[in-house]
Amino acid sequence: MTDTTPFSMRRTRLMQQMGSGVAVLATAPEQVRNRDSHYPYRFDSHFYYLTGFTEPEAVVVLLASTHRAVLFCRDKDMEREIWDGFRYGPEAASATFHFDEAYSIGELDSRLPGLLADQPALHYALGQDAGWDARILGWLNSVREQARSGVTAPASLRDVRELVDEMRLFKDEAEQATMRNAAAIACAAHSRAMQATAPGRFEYEIEAELLHHFRANGSQAPAYTSIVAGGANACVLHYVENNAQLHAGDLLLIDAGCELDGYASDITRTFPVSGSFSAAQKDVYEMVLAAQSAALDAVKPGNHWNQPHEAALSVLVQGMIDLKLCTGSVDGVLESGDYRRFYMHRTGHWLGLDVHDAGSYKTDGSWRALQPGMALTVEPGCYIRPADNVPEALWNIGIRIEDDVLVTASGCEVITAAAPKTVAEIEAAMRHA
């Protein structure tokens, strides 16, 4: 029977693209936090994409010429399972994850030279980890030592990430389904956070609402450290202290997403702590919302990667001129870069197994065209710090609006649309708290 699991199909596609040679990919190591306490374990994204296997101490070897997939993993060990939990072991892992062969990770050093022998090319992430680089060189040298017996070592070394990055850029149906589910959990978490917000509460209390909803609904972890930034803190792009008290009249910017079965959601919403936007806050918010709408309209097949950013930027610059933040014409402000005082980042990034996911943004020096199956964020913003040439009513207003988007055959699907976003939706959600 042909194996048609998403992971085995990806391994087959990778081996077809390799044509010949052998690929070696290791998962991420466990990391010690302090003393004998570890950070929560998270597998390597490339490794998981090709295997579905989530245990540490594992390596996959793909032999393109014979279309063989070989897994090395931890042994079944009932005593260690008492302390650390379930382990598949090679036999169960092979059957469960559809590998052609599986061996103990303890056999890696003895078996790898044989798997590398007489292969024309080695596909490996050179430079990613110095320890693994040393092991790879050791295996290659073991093969070269057999030269007088007629055994040859791989003549070329190729970066396997180039092939896997391009594969990961296009999400298959299984990936899209998982991302929609991750988005749904995150949308509901943002709604919960809005309804929990009130003057006098602390940023970390609102962060706790997010984290509770993530975990209570099946997410394994936040996809990144949540940003819960009230008032002036919203003008710090990567603010993560989340320890300030919330005040009436301020805005609260929340940039938070969850990870579900490896896949990230990434949403930003900005809303008034007291439940209603002031006139100045509403003016800036509507400007950013219009910029996001323009960017979303530009997310469609055939448009290049930078067109959504360009569309958002034109709207933002016109809005900044209208609000007396910048002076001159739109073209003049764009050329001078004066807008960067208030908008200093780009309008999106690829999204998937990593929050800033794999995949190039340019090919042959040009922005790459958007195609169905790509997943990205769309997140314009405006961050206004106090300054003599800035209207005082706009001081400390920081706004970002971010959604997760799948490129479709006819345009795009906003998979995070359920999180309240318009002024009316946000104020209604907070009234019904």
Q: Which of 203, 250, 379, 403 is catalytic?
A: 379
Q: Which of 13, 68, 349, 368 is catalytic?
A: 349
Amino acid at 312: A
Residue 213 catalytic? no
The burial of 219, by beta-carbon neighbours within 10 Å (0-12 exposed, 13-18 middle, 19 or more buried), is given as buried
Closest CA to 179 of 357, 421, 359, 396: 357
Closest CA to 182 of 227, 226, 222: 222
Structure tokens at 32: 């010690």
Q: What is the DSSP letter of 62?
A: E
Q: Which of 87, 135, 345, 368 is catalytic?
A: 345
Structure tokens at 227: 């940003």
Cβ contact 186:258 at 8 Å: yes
Q: Which of 33, 35, 148, 238 is catalytic?
A: 238
Q: Which of 266, 357, 403, 427 is catalytic?
A: 266
Residue 133 catalytic? no
Q: Which of 400, 403, 404, 427 is catalytic?
A: 400
Residue 161 catalytic? no
Residue 190 catalytic? no
Cβ contact 401:394 at 8 Å: no
Dist CA 51 CA 311 (whole Å): 39
Residue 159 catalytic? no
Q: Which of 44, 175, 383, 427 is catalytic?
A: 383
Residue 239 catalytic? no
Q: Which of 356, 361, 392, 431 is catalytic?
A: 356
Closest CA to 7 of 49, 64, 63: 49
DSSP count for the chain of H helices, then E strands: 13, 21
**Residue where the block lists tokens 């029977």:** 1
Bridge partners, 248 (sequence order): none
Dist CA 363 CA 178 (whole Å): 28
CB crowding 223-262: b at 16 or more within 10 Å, else e: bbebbbbbbbbbbeeebbebebebeeebbbbbbbbbbbbb
Residue 238 catalytic? yes
Dist CA 116 CA 124 (whole Å): 12
Rounded to a whole number of angstroms, the distance between the first and last alpha carbons of the chain is: 54
Residue 165 catalytic? no
Residue 286 catalytic? no
Q: Which of 207, 402, 403, 427 is catalytic?
A: 402
Q: Which of 33, 36, 173, 432 is catalytic?
A: 36
Q: Which of 255, 261, 354, 404 is catalytic?
A: 255
Residues serving a catalytic function are 36, 238, 255, 266, 345, 349, 356, 379, 383, 400, 402
